[in-house]
Structure 1
Amino acid sequence: MPHGKQPIPYTVLIIEDELAIAENLSLTFEEEGFFVDIARNAKSALYELSRTSYDLILLDIGLPGTDGYSFLKHMREKLQLSTPVLMLTARAALEDKLRGFHIGVDDYLTKPFALEEVVMRARALTRRSKQLSETAFILSFGPLQYSLADQLVTVHGRPIKLPRKSLMILELLMRYAGRVVPRQKFEDYLWLGDPPSSEALRSQLHLLRKALHQHGYDGIETAHSIGWRLVK
């Protein structure tokens, strides 16, 4: 595998009430290297947004209860989130598209759509978003802060120097702050799913825990047989 910084694994939230469509999208995006969460309605989507920093949202208009337009309006105006949104809908009328763009959608695809095109548009949106925000993108959780642009981590405001693998582990933990990150997601990101040994991940986590402990933070919690998460 070539040396150098490994690409950040994009995180995508699929907001779709039709289970078959959501699962097909999820499988496709996971095969393309994305980390995927699914919400079946606006309430669940808001809950996911409160826990995770996403790079992209795939949004259906025809959701039960609060529809996609209302959800997007709330997300843009109340939550002040600039996360790129690709709207997926059966509504092909121009007025529907114009309404979506007026509220703040970034791209629009009508059903039925080709999964390959969804992925193509998703990659274009995430690349554009990263180019615009790369210099200012900062992850925060409790006393931890991580500036992705300059690879700088601080604990209680004090900088800490971490090796590359520790930075990669911490990035995933902070992106899924408070949630369990499964072992497989770490191994996919750190070693493209092919770790050098069965204990490689535990060894890397031990190094990260030790470094953070020396700076007064012991918030990496093990969820036995599942993965790890951050706690405040």
Structure 2
Amino acid sequence: MATILVVDDELGIRALLSEILADEGHTVELAENAAQARALREQFQPDLVLLDIWMPDVDGITLLKEWGATGQLTMPVIMMSGHGTIDTAVEATKHGAMAFLEKPITLQKLLRAVEQGLARQAPRPAGNGLTSAAVVRELNAEPHSHHGSLPIPHPVALGPQAEQVFVLDRPLREARDAFEKAYFEFHLAKEHGSMTRVAEKTGLERTHLYRKLKQLGVDLTRNKRAGGN
């Protein structure tokens, strides 16, 4: 079995992931911040790292960039976040992450991501490009099973020809809402949160667009530019 490093500032997440992975026969090392993660990576040379993005000292993407710049990104890294957006997922994969998992994490999807990561046993070189469509697919995918207690999207599928795919085995309204949410999040990320430009691109009147985004549960603060619109 493998040695897996879990980096997350939340004690409950670390404990839960550790229990699950240990039950699968893996050796698990735990870090609550970037400093501990650096030390444990040097000490144990993990086969895979589960790395949280939002941490209080050094965030996960910064640590990922650091490992890549210093030649230490020699293991697959799976990013985790409870506030996943298209742009953060794209940024993570651009810098070498092999997958992006959104919290809360289902048991089934966690084990699938770990299995795929260990099978790969090598990170994707930074800068090879992940299409936004691939990330849209992953951030809106629905789990096919209710097994486990930890829902996240599937791991991000890397590759320049990745296509946008949605789960069709669900009610039409849910499928349509998932597509529309992905569609608008894509354009918001592309236009850096500019409601004016998104309205122009999508052909909607701005007030109608705003109501639509609120109805779909799109987080309007994530891509909002400093100056607003």
TM-score, structure 2 as length reference: 0.52
SS of the residue corresponding to residue 30 of structure 1 reads helix
* 113, 116, 131: which one aligns with 1:121: 113
* 61, 69, 76: which one aligns with 1:77: 69
For 2:149, the equivalent position in structure 1 comes to none
The correspondence of residues 191-210 of structure 1 with structure 2, limited to 5 A, is none
| d(CA) in 2 for partners of 1:48, 1:79 | 16
| d(CA) in 1 for partners of 2:33, 2:58 | 8
Is contact 2:5–2:30 with CA below 8 Å preserved after alignment?
A: yes
Task: State the shift of 1:113 in Å.
Answer: 1.6
The correspondence of residues 212-231 of structure 1 with structure 2, limited to 5 A, is none
The superposition leaves residues 107-149 of structure 1 with CA deviations (integer Å, 9 ceiling, x where unpaired) of: 011011202211111011101217xxxxxxxxxxxxxxxxxxx
For 1:111, the equivalent position in structure 2 comes to 103
The superposition leaves residues 191-211 of structure 1 with CA deviations (integer Å, 9 ceiling, x where unpaired) of: xxxxxxxxxxxxxxxxxxxxx
For 2:13, the equivalent position in structure 1 comes to 21
Is contact 2:76–2:120 with CA below 8 Å preserved after alignment?
A: no
Is contact 2:81–2:103 with CA below 8 Å preserved after alignment?
A: yes
| d(CA) in 2 for partners of 1:61, 1:40 | 12
| d(CA) in 1 for partners of 2:72, 2:105 | 29
SS of the residue corresponding to residue 80 of structure 2 reads strand
For 1:47, the equivalent position in structure 2 comes to 39
Task: State the shift of 1:12 in Å.
Answer: 0.1
SS of the residue corresponding to residue 91 of structure 1 reads coil
Which amino acid in the other structure matches residue 80 of structure 2?
L
Percent of residue pairs identical: 30
Note if 1:96 corresponds to 2:80: no
For 2:78, the equivalent position in structure 1 comes to 86
Structure 2 portions without partners, runs of 5+: 123-229
The superposition leaves residues 157-180 of structure 1 with CA deviations (integer Å, 9 ceiling, x where unpaired) of: xxxxxxxxxxxxxxxxxxxxxxxx
| d(CA) in 1 for partners of 2:107, 2:13 | 10
Task: State the shift of 1:80 in Å.
Answer: 3.0
Q: Could you say what the CA RMSD is over the residues aligned between the two structures, in angstroms?
A: 1.5
SS of the residue corresponding to residue 124 of structure 1 reads helix
The superposition leaves residues 15-38 of structure 1 with CA deviations (integer Å, 9 ceiling, x where unpaired) of: 001000110000000000110000
| d(CA) in 1 for partners of 2:34, 2:17 | 18
Is contact 2:47–2:76 with CA below 8 Å preserved after alignment?
A: yes
SS of the residue corresponding to residue 57 of structure 1 reads strand
Task: State the shift of 1:53 in Å.
Answer: 1.4
Is contact 1:90–1:110 with CA below 8 Å preserved after alignment?
A: yes
| d(CA) in 1 for partners of 2:78, 2:99 | 5
| d(CA) in 2 for partners of 1:50, 1:124 | 23
Which amino acid in the other structure matches residue 108 of structure 1?
F
Task: State the shift of 1:91 in Å.
Answer: 2.2
Task: State the shift of 1:82 in Å.
Answer: 2.1
Is contact 1:25–1:115 with CA below 8 Å preserved after alignment?
A: no
For 1:68, the equivalent position in structure 2 comes to 60
